[in-house]
């Protein structure tokens, strides 16, 4: 994560939303460690990255997605009895819903809408509509899918 670059952009008062393209956890967390399970290490890594983003970017919408290294097992989607999606949603919901943003920032989605798809499969949609930048109004809808969904087609 290039937090220094993002902080420079923020310092220069650029208007942006942040899209985190996955792999908040490093590669090979399943190898060479004697303490904790792979899923614990991955979750801790996501949690630390999330905390850093919240610390520096709580005033803008942030849209994280799962990468192949952000799952309880490498390239392994959580099974139906896993609480993985619930646990990660607790971390990511304040970022995605922009719950700590100033009231002037439009909310990209609601918790109800977010929970509906995220808890089912770790994906969500959020709207970044009607944001004015200069004379341009930006209309974007984000649909977040992890690359793993395409890998198994």
CB burial of residue 130 (10 Å; 0-12, 13-18, 19+): exposed
DSSP structure class, residue 124: E
Residue with more model confidence, 96 or 132: 96
**pTM for the structure as a whole:** 0.76
Residue 116: what pLDDT? 92
Residue 6: what pLDDT? 65
Residue 99: what pLDDT? 92
SS (HEC) of 14-82: CCCCEEECCCCCCCCCCCCCCCCCHHHHHHHHHHHHHHHHHHHHCCCCEEECCCCCCCCECCECCCCCC
Residue with more model confidence, 36 or 68: 68
Model confidence pLDDT, tens digit, residues 63-106: 888 887 888 877 778 888 899 999 999 999 999 999 998 888 88
Name the band, by pLDDT with cuts 50, 70 and 90, for residue 111. very high
Residue with more model confidence, 72 or 36: 72
């Amino acid at each position: 994560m290039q937090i220094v670059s993002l902080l420079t952009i923020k310092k220069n008062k650029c208007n942006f939303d942040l899209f985190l393209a996955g792999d908040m956890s490093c590669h090979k967390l399943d190898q060479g460690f004697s303490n904790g399970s792979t899923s614990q290490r991955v979750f801790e890594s996501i949690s630390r990255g999330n905390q850093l983003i919240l610390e520096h970017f709580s005033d803008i919408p942030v849209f994280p997605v799962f990468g192949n290294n952000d799952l309880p097992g490498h390239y392994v989607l959580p099974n139906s009895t896993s609480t993985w999606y619930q646990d990660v949603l607790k971390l990511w919901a304040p970022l995605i819903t922009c719950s700590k943003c100033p009231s002037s920032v439009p909310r990209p989605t609601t918790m109800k809408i977010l929970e509906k798809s995220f808890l089912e499969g770790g994906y969500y949609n959020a709207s970044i509509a009607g944001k004015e930048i200069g004379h341009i109004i930006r209309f974007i809808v984000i649909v977040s899918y992890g690359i793993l969904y395409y890998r198994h087609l």
